[in-house]
Amino acid sequence: MTSAARTAVQGMPRIGAGRSLKRALESFWSGNIPAEELQRTAAEIRRLNWQALAAAGIDFVPSNDFSLYDHVLDAAVTIGAIPDRFGAAGGVDLDRYFAMARGGDVGGHPVSPLEMTKWFDTNYHHLVPEFGAASVFAPDSSKPCGELAEADTLGIATTPVLLGPLTLLLRGSHPAGTDPLRLLGPLVDAYAEVLAELHQAGAGWVRLDEPALVEDREAEELAAFRDAYRRLAEYSDRPNLVVSTYFGDAGSALPVLADLPVEGVGLDFCRGPENLSLLRATGGLGGKVLMAGVVDGRNVWANDLDASLDRLDRLGDLSAEVVVSTSCSLLHVPLSLGAEHDLPAEVLPWLAFAEEKLGEVATLAKGFGLGREAVAGELESSRAVRDSRRRSGRVVNEAVRRRADGLGGSDPRRSSGPEVRAAAQRERLGLPALPTTTIGSFPQTAELRSARAGWRAHHIDDAAYQTALRTEIDRVIRIQEEIGLDVLVHGEPERDDMVRYFADRLDGFILPVEGWVQSYGSRCVRPPVLVGDVSRTTPMTTDWTNYAQSRTSKPVKGMLTGPVTMLRWSFVRDDQPESATALQLALAIRDELVDLQSAGIAVIQVDEPGLREGLPLRGGDHAGYLAWATRAFRVVTAPADAQTQIHTHMCYAQLGDIVDALAELDIDVVSLEAARSGMALAADLEAADYTGGVGPGVYDVHAPGVPTVAEIERLLRRAIEALGADRVWVNPDCGLKTRRYDQVVPALEHMVEAARTLRAELVTV
């Protein structure tokens, strides 16, 4: 080649600098700003993203990757898959759009939102489209066409991004007993209409994302996919099409992709290195463009430029053109390292956030097209960074490694079986039937956030901050006693995040201050970065839990975050197997559990919402993952006595395919998301090997409404019918920190009232 290769980026972070989208959304929802101001903020985020991409020389600049809430919801709106209850015959305005996401009032009637689940194996949550038995689609291309025109006014040609029809159908919900593929024909017609309008609006290329292809797909699904894209390609009024996969290798779908009559294919070579051998076995892509994802969109480590160039060289003869690309959207990483001022100077060069990854894409394109001598300086710097990280004292702790090695191949388990534990815990706790509790956190009030910010800025001292925290714990305990909950929590006022709080108190982590990424809607998190071996040097939770227990005669749960969730919700190190990192985390958290138990805490919850999220996308890899993941959990809980009741919590993921792994956790009670799905998981639990207590969430804490007593009773009856009253606990879906007290208190009162009603019925039977 005599010039740099062309470049592509799959998508950009959409929360804006300083989380400007979050602030605008929440101000709009609270009625403090008009829709026009929200849209101005959104337009400014898009402008800055497009200009950053253009400045980096990116050739395929994405548009329609931005969303006010969720790109899967946007795709459903674009093709007109709107459930009847949202009354969208005249189009989807902002109120209806947000009602689909959060619930609300439509036409004077309260409506429930779409269900929410995890986006494949990421920590991003998406809304689940609903498809009826005979859905009719009414395409509306105003958003993708509008953003295409918006970028054009800036002099930037963009490639609109659409979620592909197969993935949209397979990530949606369908009436029981119906085949999702039944709708692929009419859905293709809707997509063809949108593509034609984009072409007429000036789009030269459109990217259709089909990450469902990196999961196990049946032959009939691949055949339907092939036929659908052949039909799309037949339309004369269409732009060039790139079908993109990510989060893994394309497996048996790769020959189908190679044979499609489209102009380009996108493959992930970071999470799916096997794509290289699959391409070779297939004979390559022929005359198609290959968008080669060699810059990781899922993690924050600086690219190994030598390794990426080696990979690009091996791809050179497998397609008509290799375009250097990110592996997936940069939605999953923070915006810019430029905002970080407190990270250790040694560590900073090891990292690359979204804007830095644009530079990596450009460097690789130059080196691939013009030869390594054209980027000799960058390659030398990359090697120096890798060497610095490998030699750093932050990375290896021999004492931690010896302790982990000391476990050998043992199978840690609690010393007593479930029946013995259940009897001991009944005697110690004396709980009623259908015991009520919450998941852990209570609302983080403005006053509490202000106190934390003041403490961090050294405007108030440790004593004043601790007084504020004790005052809040007193309040939370008092509220729970007044409501009548049976097992209390301290409310976690000292924690701004269930992972970051522990990471800040464990050796082996660094914590970017502005490293925000979107979890869903306006919810943003700051994942810690795991840079080295993990250990606990001092207790992390016992003081606050002990204080809360001293304020009540009811049991207060000790609250810990489990090792797999710590792993999955951090940017994990890439220089050792995840199983080794999980074991180190487990040993550190185990020390905390031992301290809580020694202090007399009778109920300890070890949250593992990340367990399902980490499940590999292909079934053949499930058993190996679950073996080390559940073992890591048991390393934490093995020291628990029979009288100590061990809970775990999981939320917002499709749990049916790991439900049998619950028995391997060796727990006493599990609480799960169930409200948005209408208690659908109860049937899975009924058939599972796990026989312990179950707290299927009876109200959706991520929607702003307050559930009625009747709604909660209805869900509870379904749970009791499936599981039996002796196993059912009563709790919300998730923690309450994102809600307000004026929402939380009446909701919990309704929950307790519903539990008491059904408890009384049990007595009279």
Predicted pLDDT at 166: 98
- Which string of DSSP letters, residue by residue, matches 96-136? HHHHHHH-EEETTEEEPPPPEEE-TTSS-EEE--B--TT--
Among candidates 561, 759, 755, which has minimal Cα distance to 647? 561
Q: Are 703 and 695 in contact (CB under 8 A)?
A: no
Cα–Cα dist 38/25, whole Å: 7
Query: What pLDDT shows up at residue 564?
Result: 97
Residue partners of 220: CB distance under 8 A and separation at least 6 = 181
Q: What's the number of CA atoms in the CB half-sphere (13 Å) around residue 383?
A: 7
DSSP 432: P
Confidence of residue 661 (pLDDT cuts 50, 70, 90): confident
In this prediction, residues 172-188 reach a mean pLDDT of 94
Question: 267-317: per-residue pLDDT in tens?
Answer: 999 999 999 999 999 999 999 999 999 999 999 999 999 999 999 999 999
Q: Give the C-alpha separation, 510 to 530, whole Å.
A: 7
For 596-626, what is each residue's pLDDT tens digit?
A: 999 999 999 999 999 988 999 999 999 999 9
- Percent pLDDT > 70 in the chain is 98
Q: How far apart are CA 234 and CA 231, in angstroms?
A: 5
pLDDT for the residue 285? 96
Does position 90 have pLDDT exceeding 70, yes or no?
no
Output the pLDDT for position 145: 98
C-alpha atoms less than 13 angstroms from C-alpha of 127 in its C-beta half-sphere = 30
* Structure confidence at residue 652 as a pLDDT band (50, 70, 90): low
pLDDT score for 109: 86
pLDDT over 70 at 655, yes or no: no
Calculate ∠ Cα 219-222-224, nearest 5°.
110
Tell me phi and psi for residue 744, to 5 degrees: -70, -45
> Yes or no: is domain 7-391 CATH 3.20.20.210?
yes
- Give mean pLDDT, residues 458-487: 95
Residue entry with tokens 């797999």: 564
Judge whether 302 and 270 are in contact, CB under 8 Å: no
The rounded distance, in Å, linking the Cα atoms of 700 and 711 is 11
In this prediction, residue 675 has a pLDDT band, given cuts at 50, 70 and 90, of: confident
Residue 574 and residue 231: Cα distance in Å, rounded? 41
The answer to whether 588 touches 628, Cβ cutoff 8 Å, is no
What's the helix, strand, coil split of the chain in %, to 5? 45, 15, 40
Answer yes or no: is pLDDT of 648 > 90: yes
The fraction of the chain above a pLDDT of 90, given in percent, is 87
Whether the pLDDT of residue 689 is over 90: the answer is no
pLDDT for 738 beyond 90: no
Q: Do the domains 7-391 and 424-764 sit in the same CATH topology, yes or no? A: yes
Whether the predicted pLDDT of 643 surpasses 70: yes
Catalytic residue among 71, 490, 702, 750: 702
Kindly report the number of other CB atoms within 10 A of residue 533's CB atom: 23
Do the Cβ atoms of 582 and 624 come closer than 8 Å? no
Give the whole-angstrom CA distance, residue 702 versus residue 101: 10
Report residue 541: phi and psi, to 5°: -130, -15
Q: CA–CA separation, 371 vs 386, rounded Å?
A: 21
Do 106 and 95 form a contact (C-beta atoms < 8 A)? yes
Top-tier CATH class for 424-764 = alpha beta
Backbone angles phi, psi at 333, to 5 degrees: -125, 160
What's the pLDDT at 632?
98
Distances (CA, A) of 220 to 27, 417, 434, 727: 47, 45, 45, 40
Reply yes or no on whether the pLDDT at 765 is more than 60.
Answer: no
User: Which of 600, 587, 586 is CA-nearest to residue 558?
Assistant: 600
For 159, phi then psi, to 5°, come to: -110, 105
Please provide the size of the chain in residues: 765
Comparing CA positions, the residue from 123, 209, 249 lying closest to residue 564 is: 123
Per-residue pLDDT tens over the stretch 320-368: 999 999 999 999 999 999 999 999 999 999 999 999 999 999 999 999 9
Average pLDDT over residues 661-688: 83
Q: What would the pLDDT profile of 95-137 be if each residue is shown by its tens digit?
A: 999 999 999 888 888 899 999 989 999 999 999 999 998 888 9
**Average pLDDT over every residue of 260-267:** 98
Q: What is the pLDDT of residues 541-594, one digit of tens each?
A: 999 999 999 999 999 999 999 999 999 999 999 999 999 999 999 999 999 999
- Give the pLDDT of residue 688: 80
pLDDT interval class at 687 (50, 70, 90): confident
How many Cα neighbours within 13 Å face the side chain of 274? 9
Q: What is the pLDDT of residue 89?
A: 62
Domain boundaries, the chain: 7-391, 424-764
Pairing type for strands 529-536 and 557-561 reads unpaired
Tokens of 764: 């009279």
Cα pseudo-dihedral 576, 580, 581, 584, rounded to 10: -140
Looking at residue 294, its amino acid is V
Q: List the single range of 54-58, 70-74, 86-90, 745-749 with lowest mean pLDDT.
A: 86-90
Q: Is the pLDDT of residue 654 over 80?
A: no
Average pLDDT over residues 436-455: 92
The answer to whether 285 and 244 have CB atoms below 8 angstroms apart is no
Confidence of residue 683 (pLDDT cuts 50, 70, 90): confident
Q: How far apart are the first and last CA of the chain?
A: 81
CA-CA distance, 26 to 20, in Å (whole number)? 10
**What pLDDT, on a 0 to 100 scale, did the predictor assign at position 678?**
74
**Residue 166: partners with Cβ closer than 8 Å, 6 or more residues away:** 184, 210, 212, 213, 221, 224, 225, 228
Clarify whether 702 is annotated catalytic. yes
For 204, residues 6+ apart whose C-beta sits below 8 A from its C-beta are: 157, 159, 239, 240
Residue 762 is predicted with a pLDDT of 87
Residues 500-545: tens digit of each pLDDT: 999 999 999 999 999 999 999 999 999 999 999 999 999 999 999 9
Nearest CA among 540, 535, 570, 542 for reference residue 556: 542
Question: What amino acid is encoded at 188 in this protein?
Answer: V
Question: Checking DSSP bridges between strand 109-111 and strand 104-106, what pairing results, if any?
Answer: antiparallel
Backbone φ and ψ of 621, nearest 5°: -100, -5
